[in-house]
Structure 1
Amino acid sequence: MTAQTVRGDDRAHVFHSWSAQGLIDPLPVEGALGSYFWDYDGHRFLDFSSQLVNVNIGHQHPRLVAAIQEQAAKLCTIQPAFANDKRGEAARLISELAPGTLNRVFFTNGGAEANENAIRLARGHTGRPKVLSTYRSYHGGTTTAIAATGDPRRWANEGTAVGLVHFWGPYPYRSPFFSDSAEQETERALKHLRDTIVFEGAGTIAAVLLETVVGTNGILVPPPGYLRGVREICDEFGIVFIADEVMAGFGRCGEWFAVDRWGVTPDLITFAKGVNSGYLPLGGVVISDEIAETFRERPFPGGLTYSGHPLACASAVASIEIFKEEGIVEHARAIGDDVIAPGLAALAAKHPSVGEVRGLGVFWAIELVRDRATREPLVPFNAAGAAAGPMNELAAACKERGLWPFTHFNRVHVAPPCTVTADEVREGLSILDDALSVADKYYAG
């Protein structure tokens, strides 16, 4: 195959997600290894986006590839009504990693289906219809998951689901509560959540659905005490607390599950992406004993042909074993603390267009501004076309230098694989250092 053939087939026959089909020209990719991928012309890119923040174990990990090959030779597929060795082992290993009494796993094909079914579990358990989620969020593209989503991708899909209510989560840098400290942000954000529950009617609310660390919409690390406060409010009103860890889980935040950093136990945890680094489609919901008990005698009204697919579950088992044996979670935490954090701080000190850097583990955001005093974003919210020009220029500058960035609105996200080396991080930050001169051109403060 040549780049021309791959591009020709793609443009003639592939319908791409979230895109105007005639305005895109996808890069043909020939291969990948570790923290890098390359095209057919020999251009190599350092993957600072982990594709879609999912290749936590790195590209083409040989042990994970071998585990998939071994399972394929043994048993490629079996329907979910049967017991299967890899399905059961994957569920046990995931349950053992989860906090509290979250001891059962419902497997899905990805994160959207995980959130869809977590909401179904919460509604079935409580008998209530409503679900609360934040405006700065993304929970997936299926009917209920996209309705729960807060970002603009929801707008074109409005009216497809009912009972989804949005509220403001904490965001100290751009506080919707006019807070002047992280502690005040926590206090006011929790009061806002409580007020929303009271005015929506606590007896109508099945669940509060939160990304533990908000991903695409800002890598917003919750301020101290916020998640614990959400847990207490949910307990007070009999509401299910769903932690969406699709992006934040499995090492991304330097923990198996990001909630572990704050010692908080939700009722349901949704996962996907990093559980097997997207080597095969897999997601799921980790379920508390209390909610699982609801469906002991009453059927759960949901199912998927490929729930707990043996190949996908075998890859999850192998991935978890590799993570443990190679200390990947610990490595992600250390590389964030010792290399990424100080490196980004240095960039912030050098470039006036950097308004804030924030994150943990291998999950960071550089927020770009035109004025540090006013915090005016480099580009407007949901900018498109010419309005998005500065960010498009910045992304192009990164790619020209061999770095594949993750950009969203006025931010560059730094999210390399959890296996990234210190030297690779420094290489990427050096490229970002050069590319940020593009953003500095637009600084007016």
Structure 2
Amino acid sequence: MTQTESTQTESAAARVRRLDRAHVFHSWSAQGRIDPLPVARASGSYFWDLDGRRYLDFTSQLVNVNIGYQHPRVVAAIQRQAAELTTLAPGFAYEARSEAARLIAEVAPAGLDRVFFTNGGAEANENAVRMARLHTGRHKVLAAYRSYHGATAGAIALTGDPRRWPSEPGSPGVVHYWGPYPYRSAFHARDEAEEGERALAHLRQTVEVEGPHTIAAVLLEPVVGTNGILVPPPGYLAGVRELCDEFGIVLIADEVMAGFGRCGEWFAVDAWGVTPDLITFAKGVNSGYVPLGGVLISDAIADTFRDRPYPGGLTYSGHPLACASAVASIEVFREEGLLDHVRRLGAEVIGPGLRELAERHPSVGEVRGLGVFWALELVRDRATREPLVPFNASGTAAEPMAAFTAACRRSGLWPFTHFNRTHVVPPCTVSADEVREGLAILDEALSVTDRWTTT
């Protein structure tokens, strides 16, 4: 058989897989050990591979497809914008860009009225830190160990989880601290209230020993994302705000994952009534239909650059296609009542459903979350809380989680797993019946992880 004949008989899935393996260099991967799934199409809460198999997406891809796949309103907005103007340098004023900024500022906490557009979350965090340093004249930034802030040079240094290790030594001036995590308390707290108090005391001590006069910003995820869906104890975020105010430190909220409906609010900080000085966003602002991120800026920080140039910029800042999709997305959120929908799903379907699973499966150590932002922490022993797999496990040490993932996929569910956790993070538009479909598959898959328990 000739090469031409072989190519003609090759299936679409095989061709896509062959070309991918020959030419695509994938992120966060050992290239010889991966076999990416060839995807054909997607709609709503589902996607299909090239063999026609359907998957219910409990990952929202990278926790960003908040309005689901292929929402017709947003697709149409991108098409209209492409017909009118596909690109424009950031130095011009343009309707789609201005309207996107207006709408984003309108749903943000009061006093954050200006938007610096980026292409994604890492760039947003990089620029927020730059703004904070220039505004304060200080150089240090405090960021949590259990965090992820992006993979560019500055953002990976801000990141606390193991993904930063290969990039060290990183950008100078970053100091990591422990945030609250009641289930695995670094402070030996007995309950959630004590965890919040001790976490704040630890942060204060860190500020004091680092020197408040050297600290430009505290950067945090209001609800920690990939590193555990860690919902802060009541009063914690307000305490951080007070600490920053006391020492003239800029508070930066990384809302890249938690914002735009994921927690049932426009921004997660709204759930606690806290207003940061800077908010970074991306992902959910337009569900990743076109790359877009940005920084919401307080009036005080914006005034720093009223007569002083801001020394930063991006060729595609406020790209017309991206901004048009953001405008349409925000309109969809409002007209379809998605924030209320997310709150109800979390309180009435996802939360209760996950807690029922925990009652049946000894491998579930804790259920936590809100909105459509949840985690099951999987353990070998509930009494000792020994994780199902070790921290940052790989290879054979990660076998239980690999078996769980495989069981989900065989049954048509695409799960989000990280370390010893599975996260339940479907689109904000997911229906209650779709959630129940996914929970039923999780129920079956957890029978696999139960085999590794000691109780």
TM range (shorter): over 0.9
RMSD: 0.6
Cα distance in 2 for partners of 1:32, 1:53 equals 15
Q: Determine if the alignment matches structure 1 residue 323 to structure 2 residue 320.
A: no
Q: What is the CA distance between 1:100 and its match in structure 2?
A: 2.1
- Which residue does the alignment assign to 1:130? 140
Q: 1:78 aligns with which of 82, 88, 91?
A: 88
Q: Determine if the alignment matches structure 1 residue 426 to structure 2 residue 436.
A: yes
Cα distance in 2 for partners of 1:212, 1:287 equals 17
Amino acid at match of 2:441: I
Deviations 1:233-285 (A, max 9, x none): 00000000000000000000000000000000000000000000000000000
Q: Determine if the alignment matches structure 1 residue 381 to structure 2 residue 391.
A: yes
- Which residue does the alignment assign to 1:142? 152
- Which residue does the alignment assign to 1:175? 185
Cα distance in 1 for partners of 2:249, 2:307 equals 22
Cα distance in 2 for partners of 1:222, 1:343 equals 22
- Which residue does the alignment assign to 1:443? 453
Cα distance in 2 for partners of 1:43, 1:301 equals 49
Cα distance in 1 for partners of 2:292, 2:177 equals 29
Q: Determine if the alignment matches structure 1 residue 403 to structure 2 residue 409.
A: no
Deviations 1:364-407 (A, max 9, x none): 00000000010000000000000000000000000000000000
Q: 2:194 aligns with which of 146, 171, 184?
A: 184
> For structure 1, which segment, 4-13 or 236-245, has the greater mean C-alpha deviation from structure 2 after superposition?
4-13
Partner SS state of residue 452, structure 2: coil
Deviations 1:157-186 (A, max 9, x none): 111310000000000000000001111001
Amino acid at match of 1:327: G
Amino acid at match of 2:24: V
Q: What is the CA distance between 1:330 and its match in structure 2?
A: 1.2
- 1:111-122 matches, cutoff 5 A: 111-122=121-132
Question: Structure 1 vs Structure 2: percent identity of aligned residues?
Answer: 75
Q: What is the CA distance between 1:208 and its match in structure 2?
A: 0.2
- Which residue does the alignment assign to 2:320? 310
Q: What is the CA distance between 1:63 and its match in structure 2?
A: 0.8
Q: What is the CA distance between 1:191 and its match in structure 2?
A: 0.3
Q: 1:56 aligns with which of 66, 77, 89?
A: 66
- Which residue does the alignment assign to 2:372? 362
Q: What is the CA distance between 1:333 and its match in structure 2?
A: 1.0
Partner SS state of residue 366, structure 2: strand
Amino acid at match of 2:195: E
Q: 1:247 aligns with which of 233, 237, 257?
A: 257
- Which residue does the alignment assign to 1:414? 424
Structure 1 regions of 5+ residues with no counterpart? none
How many residues are aligned here?
445
- Which residue does the alignment assign to 2:101? 91
Cα distance in 2 for partners of 1:187, 1:143 equals 33
Cα distance in 1 for partners of 2:329, 2:180 equals 33
Cα distance in 2 for partners of 1:282, 1:165 equals 28
- 1:210-249 matches, cutoff 5 A: 210-249=220-259
Cα distance in 1 for partners of 2:411, 2:240 equals 43
- Which residue does the alignment assign to 1:339? 349
Cα distance in 2 for partners of 1:421, 1:177 equals 39
Structure 2 regions of 5+ residues with no counterpart? 1-10
Amino acid at match of 1:422: A
Q: 2:203 aligns with which of 180, 186, 193?
A: 193
- 1:28-47 matches, cutoff 5 A: 28-47=38-57
- 1:228-307 matches, cutoff 5 A: 228-307=238-317
Cα distance in 2 for partners of 1:122, 1:381 equals 33
Cα distance in 2 for partners of 1:9, 1:83 equals 41
Partner SS state of residue 441, structure 1: helix
Amino acid at match of 2:281: F
Cα distance in 1 for partners of 2:46, 2:425 equals 13
Cα distance in 2 for partners of 1:200, 1:41 equals 56
Cα distance in 1 for partners of 2:73, 2:96 equals 16
Amino acid at match of 2:205: D
Deviations 1:196-240 (A, max 9, x none): 000000000000000010000000000000000000000000000
Cα distance in 1 for partners of 2:116, 2:204 equals 30
Deviations 1:58-112 (A, max 9, x none): 0000111000000000000000000010101000100011102000000000000
Cα distance in 2 for partners of 1:374, 1:301 equals 51
| 4+ residue runs over 4 A deviation | none
Cα distance in 2 for partners of 1:91, 1:124 equals 23
Cα distance in 1 for partners of 2:320, 2:106 equals 19
